[in-house]
Structures are given as structure tokens and as C-alpha cells.
């Protein structure tokens, strides 16, 4: 069987691709199909988030194993027919690190396999892909790409310095040379 999936880019504009993939292929094959359909360059990290019927993430499947013990489930371990059981099932796909592309994947229909077709294949394209990953806030990214620092719960250095009183500190007199006179008794013997 072949699963027809609608891959929707998470943006204000309507941008999506329809991809057909065999039910016995895995999420790694779907990952490659999405990269091809949206012309995503590079070998960035990516993950699939398996969602329940309410859209809550029940399982995260990365491209590569990031677990400490090295036995985590990866995309090549999970087959398409394990993730999508009926039309309407959805998963979430994230691609990239600094520029994060986010997609929603929905099973549209299950159809018969066609001979001489190399799956996954893009069968429909709608909308023009932006040059950069869309931001979640919808604001235009700054030219230099620098992210502003978030406010934290720590006081600023200047505020902390003004609030600190040094009156209770011991008044040491560092002008006394008496403490260092003992060092004069030390002889360097050259033998």
C-alpha cells in the first residue's frame, strides 16, 4: 500500500506538498522525501514528533540517536504504517537547528501502489517556499541574525554593586613591610 501524505509548512501562507510513500518505508525515507519536496539543503538534524488525536506529542523520533546509552529509537527504526493508521492521523516534523523549519504531516489517503514508481515521490506542490525558515512570531528576522537576550531573574551587575556595602569588611593595612622582612633571612645556597 501507498500512503499519500500532505506536508504543510508552518507559516501564515498556504504552502504544502503531497508526498506518496510506501507503508513499509520508514520515517528516514519520509525525512528524505520532505527534504526533496521542499528543496531543503544540508544535512541538519531533524525530528518527528508523533502526535495523539488531540495533538499532544506522545513520542519523539530523532534522525540520529542522542541517548546516553546508544539504544534510542531513530527514524530508520519506525515504519510509516506504525505511525499512520488511518486518514487524518498527524505527525510534526522539525528540520534544522539555527533556522528551524516546521511541518505538519497528515495522512490524506491510502492507495494502491503503482508499478515503476520510486517512492517517496512528490505528487503535488502548492505555494512558493520562502528563502529562510519562517519565524514563529511572524516578525521579520534582523539582518545580522542576532537574537536578543531574554530577561532573566538575576539582578544586573550595576544594581548588585550599588546594593553591596563594604563597611563591614576588615580594614587591612597593606602598607606594612614588616610581614615581608622574614623573607630576608632566606639564603640561596649555590652548591
For 117-131, the pLDDT digits (tens) are: 899 999 999 999 998
Dig out the grid coordinates for 82 from the structure: 506504525
Measured in degrees and rounded to the nearest 5, phi and psi for residue 57 equal: -70, 125
Question: Is 0.75 surpassed by the pTM of this model?
Answer: no
The residues, ordered by sequence, that sit 6+ positions from 74 with a Cβ below 8 Å of its Cβ are 28, 61, 62, 63, 64, 65
Query: What's the confidence (pLDDT) of residue 35?
Result: 95
**CATH number of the structural domain 2-126:** 3.10.290.30
Measured in degrees and rounded to the nearest 5, phi and psi for residue 9 equal: -70, 135
Residue 147 pLDDT > 90 = no
Amino acid at each position: 500500500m501507498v500512503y499519500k501524505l500532505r506536508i504543510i509548512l508552518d507559516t501564515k501562507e498556504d504552502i504544502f506538498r503531497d508526498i506518496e510513500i510506501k507503508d513499509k518505508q520508514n520515517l528516514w525515507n519520509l525525512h528524505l522525501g520532505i527534504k526533496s519536496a521542499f528543496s531543503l539543503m544540508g544535512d541538519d538534524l531533524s525530528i518527528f514528533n508523533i502526535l495523539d488525536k488531540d495533538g499532544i506529542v506522545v513520542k519523539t523520533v530523532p534522525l540520529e540517536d542522542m541517548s546516553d546509552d546508544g539504544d534510542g529509537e531513530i527514524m530508520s527504526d519506525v515504519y510509516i504504517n506504525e505511525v499512520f493508521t488511518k486518514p487524518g492521523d498527524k505527525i510534526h516534523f522539525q528540520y534544522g537547528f539555527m533556522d528551524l523549519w516546521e511541518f505538519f504531516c497528515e495522512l490524506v489517503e491510502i492507495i494502491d501502489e503503482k508499478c515503476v514508481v520510486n517512492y517517496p515521490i512528490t505528487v503535488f506542490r502548492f505555494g512558493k517556499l520562502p528563502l529562510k525558515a519562517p519565524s514563529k512570531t511572524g516578525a521579520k528576522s534582523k539582518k545580522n541574525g542576532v537574537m536578543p537576550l531574554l530577561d532573566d531573574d538575576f539582578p544586573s551587575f550595576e544594581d548588585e554593586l550599588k546594593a553591596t556595602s563594604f563597611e563591614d569588611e576588615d580594614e587591612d593595612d597593606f602598607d606594612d613591610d614588616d610581614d615581608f622582612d622574614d623573607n630576608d633571612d632566606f639564603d640561596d645556597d649555590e652548591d
